[in-house]
Amino acid sequence: MQFQISREFIEEIEQLVEEKNNKQLLLHLEDLHHADIAEILDELSLDDATYVIKLLGSDKTAEVLMELDEDDREKVLNNLTAKEIAEEIEEMDTDDAADIVAELSPEIKERVISHIEDEEHADNIVELLRYDEDSAGGLMAKELVKVNENWSVTGCMSEMREQAENVRRVHSIYVVDNKNRLKGRLSLKDLLTAPSSAQISDIYIDKVDYVNVHTEGEEVARIMQKYDLEAIPVVNEMGKLVGRITIDDIVDFIREEAEKDYQMAAGISEGVEADDSVWQLTRARLPWLILALLGGFISVSVLETFDSAMQKHAALFFFVPLIAAMAGNVGVQSSAIVLQGLANKSLKGSLLNRLIKEVLLSLFNGFVLSVLLIAGGMLLLDLDFDFGLTVGISLISVIITASLIGTFVPIILDKQGIDPAMATGPFITTSNDICGILIYFSIAKLILGF
Amino acid sequence: MQFQISREFIEEIEQLVEEKNNKQLLLHLEDLHHADIAEILDELSLDDATYVIKLLGSDKTAEVLMELDEDDREKVLNNLTAKEIAEEIEEMDTDDAADIVAELSPEIKERVISHIEDEEHADNIVELLRYDEDSAGGLMAKELVKVNENWSVTGCMSEMREQAENVRRVHSIYVVDNKNRLKGRLSLKDLLTAPSSAQISDIYIDKVDYVNVHTEGEEVARIMQKYDLEAIPVVNEMGKLVGRITIDDIVDFIREEAEKDYQMAAGISEGVEADDSVWQLTRARLPWLILALLGGFISVSVLETFDSAMQKHAALFFFVPLIAAMAGNVGVQSSAIVLQGLANKSLKGSLLNRLIKEVLLSLFNGFVLSVLLIAGGMLLLDLDFDFGLTVGISLISVIITASLIGTFVPIILDKQGIDPAMATGPFITTSNDICGILIYFSIAKLILGF
pLDDT at site A116 = 92
Tell me the mean pLDDT in the region B197-216: 89
- CB-CB: which of B275, B336, B380 is closest to A346? B275
Select the more confidently predicted residue: B445 or B226. B445
- By C-alpha distance, which of B95, B142, B88 is closest to B115? B88
DSSP SS3 for A216 = strand
Which CA distances in Å does A91 have to A34, A96, A133, A169, B303? 14, 10, 21, 16, 65
For residues A349 and A346, give the distance between their C-alpha atoms in angstroms, rounded to a whole number.
10
For residues A445 and B13, give the distance between their C-alpha atoms in angstroms, rounded to a whole number.
57
| B299 contacts A322? CB cut-off 8 A | yes
| B225 contacts A263? CB cut-off 8 A | no
Strands A173-176 and A182-186: antiparallel
Give the chain A residue nearest B303 (alpha carbons): A318
Average pLDDT of chain B to the nearest whole number: 86
Q: Tens digits of per-residue pLDDT, B94-134?
A: 999 999 999 898 889 999 999 999 999 999 999 999 999 88
Amino acid at A228: D
Q: What is the edge-to-edge ordering of all strands in the sheet holding B182-186?
A: B145-148, B173-176, B182-186
| B319 contacts A324? CB cut-off 8 A | no
Give the chain A residue nearest B268 (alpha carbons): A333
For residues B89 and B117, give the distance between their C-alpha atoms in angstroms, rounded to a whole number.
10
- CB-CB: which of B247, B248, B381 is closest to A300? B381
CATH of B7-132, one of 1.10.4000.10, 1.20.1090.10, 2.50.20.10, 1.25.60.10: 1.25.60.10
| Band of pLDDT at residue B225, cut at 50, 70 and 90 | confident
- CB-CB: which of A226, A259, A437 is closest to B35? A226
CA distance B213 to chain A (A): 14
| Band of pLDDT at residue B3, cut at 50, 70 and 90 | low
- CB-CB: which of B272, B288, B338 is closest to A337? B272
| B340 contacts A433? CB cut-off 8 A | no
For residues B116 and A444, give the distance between their C-alpha atoms in angstroms, rounded to a whole number.
66
Residues in B closer than 8 angstroms to A293, CB to CB, are: 322, 326, 369, 372-373, 376
Please say if the pLDDT value at position B171 is more than 80.
no
Residues in B closer than 8 angstroms to A251, CB to CB, are: 224-225, 247, 250-251, 254
DSSP SS3 for B247 = helix
| A332 contacts B267? CB cut-off 8 A | yes
| B332 contacts A251? CB cut-off 8 A | no
CATH 3.10.580.10 residue ranges of chain A are 145-247
For residues A120 and A100, give the distance between their C-alpha atoms in angstroms, rounded to a whole number.
17
Residues in A closer than 8 angstroms to B426, CB to CB, are: 329
For residues A94 and A443, give the distance between their C-alpha atoms in angstroms, rounded to a whole number.
63
Select the more confidently predicted residue: A136 or B386. A136
CA distance A408 to chain B (A): 13
CA distance B275 to chain A (A): 7
For residues A292 and A106, give the distance between their C-alpha atoms in angstroms, rounded to a whole number.
38
For residues A366 and B225, give the distance between their C-alpha atoms in angstroms, rounded to a whole number.
43
pLDDT at site A325 = 92
CATH 3.10.580.10 residue ranges of chain B are 145-256
| Band of pLDDT at residue B284, cut at 50, 70 and 90 | confident
Q: Tens digits of per-residue pLDDT, B29-88?
A: 888 888 888 888 888 888 888 898 888 877 778 888 888 877 788 888 888 889 989 998
Quick check: A56 and A34 in contact, CB under 8 A? no
Quick check: B291 and B358 in contact, CB under 8 A? no
Region of residue B426 (phi > 0: left; psi between -120 and 50: alpha; otherwise: beta): alpha
Nearest 5°: phi and psi at A186? -125, 135
Neighbours of A118 (CB within 10 A): 12
Superfamily of domain A145-247: CBS-domain (3.10.580.10)
Greatest mean pLDDT range, A307-321, B154-168, B345-359: A307-321
For residues A176 and A243, give the distance between their C-alpha atoms in angstroms, rounded to a whole number.
12
pLDDT at site B78 = 86
Q: What is the DSSP string of B22-88?
A: HHHHHHHHTTS-HHHHHHHHHHS-HHHHHHHHHHS-HHHHHHHHHHS-HHHHHHHHHTS-HHHHHHH
CA dihedral B379, B380, B381, B382 (to 10 degrees): 30
| A35 contacts B227? CB cut-off 8 A | yes
Quick check: A328 and A373 in contact, CB under 8 A? no
User: Is domain A278-448 classified as CATH 3.40.1190.10?
Assistant: no
Residues in B closer than 8 angstroms to A360, CB to CB, are: 278
Give the chain A residue nearest B208 (alpha carbons): A1
Residues in A closer than 8 angstroms to B360, CB to CB, are: 278
Tell me the mean pLDDT in the region B10-28: 89
For residues A336 and A352, give the distance between their C-alpha atoms in angstroms, rounded to a whole number.
19
Give the chain A residue nearest B284 (alpha carbons): A333
CATH 1.25.60.10 residue ranges of chain B are 7-132
Residues in B closer than 8 angstroms to A285, CB to CB, are: 330, 333, 361, 365
The architecture (CATH level 2) of B145-256 comes to Roll (3.10)
| B263 contacts A258? CB cut-off 8 A | no
Neighbours of B230 (CB within 10 A): 19
pLDDT at site A165 = 66
CATH 1.10.357.20 residue ranges of chain A are 278-448
CA distance A394 to chain B (A): 14
pLDDT at site A424 = 75
DSSP SS3 for A424 = coil
For residues B243 and B256, give the distance between their C-alpha atoms in angstroms, rounded to a whole number.
22
pLDDT at site A169 = 66
CA distance B80 to chain A (A): 25
pLDDT at site B107 = 86
CA distance A114 to chain B (A): 30
Residues in A closer than 8 angstroms to B373, CB to CB, are: 293
CA distance A289 to chain B (A): 7
Residues in A closer than 8 angstroms to B429, CB to CB, are: 325, 328-329
- CB-CB: which of A251, A268, A326 is closest to B337? A268
Select the more confidently predicted residue: B421 or B109. B109
CA distance A102 to chain B (A): 22
User: Can you name the CATH fold of A7-131?
Assistant: MgtE N-terminal fold (1.25.60)
CA distance B303 to chain A (A): 6
| A429 contacts B325? CB cut-off 8 A | yes
For residues B99 and B124, give the distance between their C-alpha atoms in angstroms, rounded to a whole number.
12
- By C-alpha distance, which of A19, A78, A48, A80 is closest to A40? A48
Please say if the pLDDT value at position B1 is more than 60.
no
- CB-CB: which of A250, A332, A365 is closest to B282? A365
| Band of pLDDT at residue B215, cut at 50, 70 and 90 | very high
- Find the largest Cα–Cα distance for chain A: 98
CA dihedral A168, A174, A176, A180 (to 10 degrees): -40
Which CA distances in Å does A147 have to A198, B48, B435? 14, 43, 67
CATH 1.25.60.10 residue ranges of chain A are 7-131
Report, as ranges of residue numbers, the positions in chain A whose pLDDT lies below 50.
Answer: 1
Burial class of residue A314 in the structure, from the number of CB atoms within 10 Å of its CB (0-12 exposed, 13-18 middle, 19+ buried): middle
pLDDT at site B170 = 65
Give the chain B residue nearest A251 (alpha carbons): B251
For residues A293 and B328, give the distance between their C-alpha atoms in angstroms, rounded to a whole number.
12
Give the chain A residue nearest B227 (alpha carbons): A35
Best of B63, B278, B411, B433 to disrupt the A interface by mutation (most A CBs within 10 Å)?
B278
CA distance A448 to chain B (A): 19
